[in-house]
Amino acid sequence: MTGNGTGDVEALREEIRRTRVELGETMEMLAARADVKARLRESAEQTKERMRERAALTMARVRGQAQKAGGVRGQVAQKARVARVQAYEKGGAARSAAPWAAVAAGALATAVVLLILRGRRG
């Protein structure tokens, strides 16, 4: 301690300055908490940003799966073409007429039944 007391005065002024800075920071923090509109806006912006990020990730995932499915679809279509060609080369074209004949016979039988039922009503 100095004889004239200037050391104590300077220390006291430094403490007052630090206290003012801390008080100012505390006031800013309290003001930010009290500003409900600003907090809601900030929260809404954060939520929007999170949703945009999730949407982008989901779209990327869906596009990747669609490309993968498109590749699989192309492979299946190619295999089907090969199978049709092989069946045709083995005489499969003659065998494929049988299902059409069955469909035609079923349609004819349905038409006959409908005509009979109409005749009974009328």
- Give Cβ neighbours of residue 104 (< 8 Å, ≥ 6 apart): none
* CA-to-CA dists, residue 33 to 27, 92, 105, angstroms: 10, 80, 82
What is residue 18's predicted lDDT score, i.e. its pLDDT?
A: 95
Lowest mean per-residue pLDDT among 31-35, 83-87, 90-94: 90-94
- Separation CA 85–CA 92 (nearest Å): 9
Domain boundaries along the sequence of the chain: 94-122
Q: What does the block give as tokens for 119?
A: 């005749």
Q: What is the pTM of this model?
A: 0.36
